């Protein structure tokens, strides 16, 4: 009887709530990832070109401030940061529950991580290519957009997928504190109601999505990498 109850609940979730939860999960994954890259990409580039001896050296105090901000935000565990930022979500969207409320904490948690990933990608570019561009009179802006970013494109795409999967995991965790998506199904219907079959179903679905994202990312990296032909 207990197994039938679980199966009935799982069937109801699949028929009535699965598509909506899947849409919420994708929204909580792609929107914060894109916004995190909009913020993190220029930050990561600045961390490289703005250092002493870089393409566009910036004041030392500014570089220290940027590094400190990124390090502080990265050191805070996501669930704690989520709780701290929820008042901002209430201010922006009028609620602290649901998919929309989780978007702001996800962006704030993700952009420092993305900035470090971008920094690592840019540092992998051969210094000789940059020196050649400088010798031909290229401006810092031209070096960034015509040399550094194109040369780092495979690493940037790879790190984009790393960030995407990480944010995907953050979004699933947000189900424990009122977030939406598949994480909410796993927590509210599986864990809180003691329905392990529902929880396992949600976990398997999350794993399948991660594998799909990673497979797409691997193909994009291969297409972008000039060394692979």
Range of the structural domain that residue 208 is part of: 2-224
Q: What is the dihedral of CA 211, 216, 217, 218, to 10 degrees?
A: 90
CA distance 188 to 174: 12
229 within domain boundaries = no
84 within domain boundaries = yes
Q: What CATH number did the domain enclosing 87 receive?
A: 1.10.3720.10
227 pLDDT more than 60: no
**If we measure between CA atoms, which residue out of 156, 153, 189, 182 comes closest to residue 29?**
182
Give the predicted TM-score (pTM) of the model.
0.85
74 within domain boundaries = yes
pLDDT tens track for 177-215: 777 788 888 887 777 777 788 888 888 989 999 999 999
211 within domain boundaries = yes
Mean pLDDT calculated for residue range 78-106: 84
> Is the Cα torsion angle 218, 220, 223, 224 positive or negative in sign?
negative
Q: For residues 195 and 2, which has the higher predicted lDDT (pLDDT)?
A: 195
175 pLDDT more than 80: no
CA distance 28 to 21: 10
Alpha-carbon distance values, 164 to 98, 99, 219, 229 (Å): 20, 17, 15, 26
Which positions ≥6 away from 217 have C-beta within 8 Å?
A: 157, 158, 160, 161, 164
209 within domain boundaries = yes
104 within domain boundaries = yes
161 within domain boundaries = yes
Mean pLDDT calculated for residue range 85-95: 83
pLDDT tens track for 7-57: 777 777 777 778 888 888 899 999 999 999 999 999 999 999 998 888 889
55 within domain boundaries = yes
Q: pLDDT grade, residue 89 (50/70/90)?
A: confident
| Number of separate domains in the chain | 1
């Amino acid at each position: 009887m207990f197994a039938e109850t679980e199966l009935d609940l799982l069937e109801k979730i699949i028929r009535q709530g699965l598509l909506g939860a899947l849409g919420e999960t994708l929204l909580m994954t792609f929107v914060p990832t894109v916004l995190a890259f909009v913020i993190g990409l220029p930050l990561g580039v600045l961390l490289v070109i703005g250092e002493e001896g870089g393409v566009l050296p910036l004041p030392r105090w500014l570089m220290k401030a940027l590094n400190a901000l990124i390090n502080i935000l990265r050191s805070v565990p996501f669930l704690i940061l989520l709780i701290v930022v929820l008042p901002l979500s209430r201010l922006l969207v009028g609620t602290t529950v649901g998919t929309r409320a989780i978007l702001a904490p996800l962006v704030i948690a993700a952009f420092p991580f993305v900035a470090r990933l971008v920094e690592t990608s840019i540092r992998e570019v051969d210094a000789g290519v940059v020196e050649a561009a400088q010798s031909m009179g290229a401006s810092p802006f031209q070096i960034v957009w015509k040399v550094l970013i194109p040369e780092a494109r495979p690493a940037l795409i790879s790190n984009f997928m790393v960030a995407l999967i990480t944010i995907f995991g953050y979004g699933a965790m947000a189900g424990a504190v009122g977030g939406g998506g598949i994480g909410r199904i796993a927590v509210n219907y599986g864990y809180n109601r003691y329905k392990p079959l529902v929880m396992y179903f949600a976990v398997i679905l999350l794993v399948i999505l991660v594998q799909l994202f990673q497979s797409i990312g691997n193909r994009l990296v291969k297409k972008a990498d000039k060394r692979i032909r």
